[in-house]
Amino acid sequence: MSEQNLDQLLSGVVDTVMETMFFSTPRGPAEPEAGASVLKARVAFRGRPSGALRVCLSAASARILAAGFLGEDEAMLTDSQPGEVVCEFANMLCGLFLSRLESDESFDLNSPELVPVGSLAAPGSEALPAASQSFGIEEGILTVTLHLEATA
Amino acid sequence: MRQLVVGVGDGGVSRDPDSVIVTYALGSCIAVMLYDPVAKVAGMVHFMLPESSMSNGSSNARPWMYADTGISLLLRVALQNGADKRRLAVFAAGGAHVMDDNGVFNIGKRNCLALRKALWKSGLVAHSEETGGSEARTVRMEVGTGRVWLHAPGGEQREMKVRLSVAQRGPGLRDQ
Amino acid sequence: MALNIMIVDDSRVMRAFIRKVVGLTGLDVGECCEAGDGEDALKLLQERRMDLVLTDINMPRMNGEEFVRRLERDESLRTIPVIVVSTDSSHNRVQQMLALGASGYITKPFLPEALRDEVEKVLGVPHV
């Protein structure tokens, strides 16, 4: 994998996915939110390299994203739909990001999963992310993080 | 030919085959047009802003002003006048990237996104779209034929073409 | 005659999105049924006649690649047109799925009108 600006790549991918299927756009860079009621989703992928992409956003933002994606009023959403939409959002971000990597490798994506709120990684297991971007969106902040496993 | 003018933040529907619906000076604003080629129902909205939630309560008084309320109202009125949603041809024009008061090219792009979002929520997608860019546009729709003409300053008038599936045109309809 | 359409994806909300796009085509849709993976889809196909299948690739139990292979091997199912809807946009993957028998391929994220057009193209819907 050649040297690419992974942060820039991540920003571009977020723009494309949000505009294409979520009818929304990031409002510019922002500082990550701490302590807010959030939804988190994770998509692991296998290839060279392997890794995982994570998204984190407020529950209110997730509802707006879900309403846009499904073409529904927020009041009509079921309890599970925001989480399911955030998972699909993470899935598309990951797939598009990997397709834009300058790499001849192919990747396999796991199914996206919601990360339970308050879950902590085992001490020492969380390496610094390879890329991380936070954006202002409607009703909160979206943070997208990419972790890559070290190649042998 | 009778001319029905749709102003900024306004909209309406016609079934008069001798009329042309027209709106002028689409800068960052967007005009959405619906046409049922079988029932010959034509409608247009000229919206200025993306979301009625920006309105502090005035969206009830001025629903045509916003993408979300304007497009859903346009569809509702068209259906009330005999249009069949499955047959509708959808046109959109405008959304030029004009600098706002903060010196940001923002509102046109936001209107373009709001257009797509509102159409999607209404179960519609544009068949012909001329949005973005930097020019103000004028559009006119002939109620009798559903033909839509677009004009930009310094340019020639040209038709916004649309290809509808036969399923949308209705069985047995001869080409116009 | 009404067309029966099947949507195969492990994401319930993606199935809902695709279902909504199918509604944009103006086609006379009879039954629009859904399956969470290839295994469930094959079971449903034994019970119901379908005119079009839209399938993801990455799914549990039976993925889209194996599902399309199985369709192609079954004489009663191989004529059903299949459109792949996937995040994988690699040239190799697209060619592979088309070689396995898929009639169309669209990459997520996609504009609703792009999928609408692909459905109409694959079904050979005439336009005026």
C79-111 pLDDT, tens digit per residue, is 999 999 999 998 999 999 999 999 999 999 999
Calpha distance C87→A42 (Å, rounded): 16
Calpha distance C15→C10 (Å, rounded): 8
Calpha distance B112→B48 (Å, rounded): 11
| CATH classification number, A6-42+60-148, choose in 3.40.120.10, 3.40.1550.10, 3.40.50.720, 3.90.870.10 | 3.40.1550.10
- SS3 assignment, position B132: coil
**Fold of domain C1-34+58-86+100-123:** Rossmann fold (3.40.50)
Catalytic residue among B29, B79, B83, B118: B29
B60 pLDDT above the threshold of 90 = no
* pLDDT at site A149: 87
Calpha distance C108→C87 (Å, rounded): 5
Closest CA to A109 of B1, B70, C93, B91: C93
| Pairwise CB contact (< 8 Å): A21 & C108 | yes
Cβ burial, residue A2 (10 Å; 0-12/13-18/19+): exposed
B67-123 pLDDT, tens digit per residue, is 999 999 999 999 999 999 989 999 999 999 877 666 665 889 999 999 999 999 999
**For chain A, what percent of residues have pLDDT higher than 70?**
88
Closest CA to C57 of C49, C69, C45, C66: C66
Q: Where are the domains of chain C?
A: 1-34+58-86+100-123
- SS3 assignment, position B175: coil
Q: Where are the domains of chain A?
A: 6-42+60-148
- Which amino acid type is present at position C95? Q
Q: At B172, is the pLDDT very low, low, confident or very high (cuts 50, 70, 90)?
A: very low
Q: How many CB atoms lie within 10 A of CB C26?
A: 21
**For chain B, what percent of residues have pLDDT higher than 90?**
71
Which residues from B are below 8 Å from C when comparing CB atoms? 86-87, 120, 123-127, 163-169, 175
**Fold of domain B2-169:** 60s Ribosomal Protein L30; Chain: A; (3.30.1330)
Which residues from A are below 8 Å from B when comparing CB atoms? 19, 23-25, 68, 71-72
Calpha distance B42→B35 (Å, rounded): 5
- Which amino acid type is present at position B156? E
- SS3 assignment, position A116: coil
Closest CA to C53 of C111, C110, C100: C100
Say yes or no: B121 contacts chain A, CB-CB below 8 A.
yes
Calpha distance C120→C126 (Å, rounded): 8
A72-117 pLDDT, tens digit per residue, is 999 999 999 999 999 999 999 999 999 998 777 788 899 999 998 7
Give the mutation candidate from B69, B106, B112, B120 for the A interface (greatest A CB count, under 10 A). Answer: B120
Q: At C115, is the pLDDT very low, low, confident or very high (cuts 50, 70, 90)?
A: very high
Residue B112 falls in the annotated catalytic set: no
**Beta-ladder partners of B3:** B20
Calpha distance C5→C85 (Å, rounded): 14
**pTM, two decimal places:** 0.92
Cβ pair C86, C56 in contact under 8 A = yes
A33-54 pLDDT, tens digit per residue, is 776 678 999 999 999 889 999 9
Query: Is residue B56 left, alpha or beta, with left meaning phi > 0 and alpha meaning psi from -120 to 50?
Result: left
| Pairwise CB contact (< 8 Å): B167 & C20 | no
Cβ pair C9, C51 in contact under 8 A = no
A127 pLDDT above the threshold of 80 = no
**Beta-ladder partners of A29:** A135
Per-residue tokens: B115: 């257009």
Q: What is the ipTM of this complex?
A: 0.93
Chain CA centroid to CA A25, Å: 14
* pLDDT at site B176: 33
C5-19 pLDDT, tens digit per residue, is 999 999 999 999 999
- Residues of chain C in contact with residue B125, where contact means CB-CB under 8 angstroms, are 24, 112-113, 116
Give the mutation candidate from C7, C10, C13 for the A interface (greatest A CB count, under 10 A). Answer: C13
A4 pLDDT above the threshold of 90 = no
